[in-house]
Amino acid sequence: MSNEVIGIIAGVLTSASMLPQLIKTIKKKEASDLSAYIFIMLIVGTGLWAYYGVLKNDIPIIATNLFSVVLNGIGLFLKFKYSPREEVFS
């Protein structure tokens, strides 16, 4: 198996690890137990990883981290949507 394939598999699995939490949040319409700060940190971190991938011209790093940015962006949106205003950053 090539290094690129291993990188893609690892990146997809790592990024997709957020899916069960997002599905649970959508089903329950409840997000007060989630932290907005972790989503913000993950969006910034994976965004920087994607930029690093651009600098290195590394498609697996770019693609999997952009996927993660999208999933974490959805998580942050759900946090705002399903939490009372006073609880978003508490």
pLDDT confidence of residue 32: 87
Q: What tokens appear for 56 in the block? A: 């290195």
- Please indicate, yes or no, if residue 59 is contained in any of the structural domains: yes
User: How much is the pLDDT for 61?
Assistant: 92
Check which CATH number belongs to the domain holding 54 and give it. Answer: 1.20.1280.290
* pLDDT (0 to 100) of residue 43: 97
Residue 11 CB partners (closer than 8 Å, separation 6+):
60, 61, 63, 64, 65, 67, 68
Amino acid letter for position 89: F
Model confidence, pTM: 0.88
Domain count, the chain: 1
Cα 37 to Cα 43: distance, rounded to the nearest angstrom? 10
What tens-digit pLDDT sequence spans the chain (90 residues)?
788 888 889 988 998 999 999 999 999 999 988 999 999 999 999 999 999 999 999 988 999 999 999 999 999 999 999 988 777 776
Residue 5 lies in a domain: no
